[in-house]
Chain A
Amino acid sequence: GESVGLHLPTLSVQEGDNSIINCAYSNSASDYFIWYKQESGKGPQFIIDIRSNMDKRQGQRVTVLLNKTVKHLSLQIAATQPGDSAVYFCAENWVSSDFNKFYFGSGTKLNVKP
Chain B
Amino acid sequence: EAQVTQNPRYLITVTGKKLTVTCSQNMNHEYMSWYRQDPGLGLRQIYYSMNVEVTDKGDVPEGYKVSRKEKRNFPLILESPSPNQTSLYFCASKKGAGAFYEQYFGPGTRLTVT
Contacts and interface: CB of A to CB of B under 8 A. Distances in A.
B100 A89 contact: no
A41 B103 CA distance: 18
B41 A106 contact: yes
B95 to A, nearest CB: 12
A106 B33 CA distance: 18
B21 interface: no
B53 interface: no
Interface in B81-114: 90, 92, 97-100, 102-108
Interface string A26-64: 000001101000000111111001010000000000000
Contact of B105 (A6, A32, A43, A93): A43
Contact of A89 (B33, B42, B92, B98): B42
A3 interface: yes
Nearest to A3: B40
Contacts of A7: 40
Contacts, number: 69
Nearest to B39: A6
A51 B100 contact: yes
B40 A49 contact: no
A100 B58 CA distance: 9
B40 A4 contact: yes
Contacts of B40: 3-8, 106
Contacts of B59: 101, 103
B66 interface: no
5 contacts: A31-B99, A32-B99, A46-B104, A91-B43, A102-B58
Interface of B: 4, 31, 33, 35, 39-45, 48, 50, 56, 58-59, 90, 92, 97-100, 102-108
Interface of A: 3-8, 31-32, 34, 41-46, 49, 51, 89, 91, 93, 95, 99-107
